[in-house]
């Protein structure tokens, strides 16, 4: 059987981003000018704007330059979180980031995907949760529907397509557990 993808029949009308088009467009420009820029290196203004647009953000959060956040109203960040340069939070579904989480440079949290089995390439979405103490290393990807459990690590340039166990260290594409994390006091 030789069926083909029909992008002209793609329909994601079920999906509602949660705000009006005016709010989405306003956020698009603020995101581009302030967060996704190197001209505003300080976190305070970014955090203020994210909260204004509906994010829940704890204390001690650092957001480095050139970060891209799709929908702040679908983002919850705990205390003492570090978000590195060029991180992309593509949160078409809810993304929850716990306390003491580190998301290193160039990491991607992507809560949407497409159903490659359907000719219409339908949209699939799923919540991402990074529990307390998680480290997402540089250039790594966390896919939709994934929970990174307490203090798990996704190593450099790895791709999490399934949940990560507590204190597990994962590497590769797809990421596989190869060790447990021991934290020294």
Domain membership flag for residue 38: yes
Give the model's confidence band at 1: pLDDT under 50 very low, under 70 low, under 90 confident, else very high: low
Domain membership flag for residue 110: yes
Question: What pTM was estimated for this model as a whole?
Answer: 0.94
Domain membership flag for residue 145: yes
pLDDT, the chain, mean: 95
Contact 72, 55 (CB under 8 A): yes
Q: Buried b / exposed e across 35-48, counting CB within 10 Å, b at 16+?
A: bbeeebeebeebbe
Domain membership flag for residue 5: no
Q: Could you report the per-residue pLDDT of 101-159, keeping only the tens digit for each?
A: 999 999 999 999 988 888 888 899 999 999 999 999 999 999 999 999 999 999 999 99
What is the domain-level CATH number for residue 52?
A: 2.160.10.10
Domain membership flag for residue 6: no
Domain membership flag for residue 10: no
Domain membership flag for residue 12: no
Domain membership flag for residue 54: yes
CA distance to 13, 59, 73, 148, per residue, from 89 (Å): 22, 19, 12, 15
**CA–CA dist 107, 62 (Å, integer):** 15
Q: Could you report the per-residue pLDDT of 77-91, keeping only the tens digit for each?
A: 999 999 999 999 999
**CA–CA dist 23, 120 (Å, integer):** 29
**CA–CA dist 72, 94 (Å, integer):** 9
Calculate mean pLDDT across residues 33-47.
Answer: 93
Name the DSSP letter for residue 160.
E
Number of helices (H) and strands (E) in the chain: give both, helices first: 2, 19
Name the DSSP letter for residue 32.
I
The domain total for the chain is 1
| Domain range for 80 | 18-180
């Amino acid at each position: 059987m030789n069926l083909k993808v029909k992008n002209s029949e793609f329909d994601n009308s079920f999906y509602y981003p949660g705000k009006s088009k005016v709010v989405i467009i306003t956020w698009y420009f603020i995101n581009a000018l302030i967060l996704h820029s190197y001209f505003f290196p300080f976190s305070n203004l970014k955090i203020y704007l994210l909260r204004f647009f509906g994010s829940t953000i704890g204390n001690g959060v650092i957001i480095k330059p050139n970060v891209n956040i799709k929908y702040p109203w679908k983002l919850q960040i705990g205390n003492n979180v570090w978000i590195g340069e060029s991180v992309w939070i593509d949160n078409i579904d809810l993304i929850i980031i716990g306390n003491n989480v580190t998301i290193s440079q160039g990491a991607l949290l992507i809560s949407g995907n497409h159903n490659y089995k359907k000719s219409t390439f339908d949209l699939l979405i799923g919540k991402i949760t990074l529990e307390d103490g998680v480290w997402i290393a540089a250039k790594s990807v966390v896919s939709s529907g994934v929970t990174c459990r307490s203090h798990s690590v996704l190593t450099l340039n790895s791709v999490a397509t399934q949940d990560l166990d507590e204190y597990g260290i994962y590497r590769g594409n797809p990421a596989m557990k190869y060790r447990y994390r021991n934290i020294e006091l």
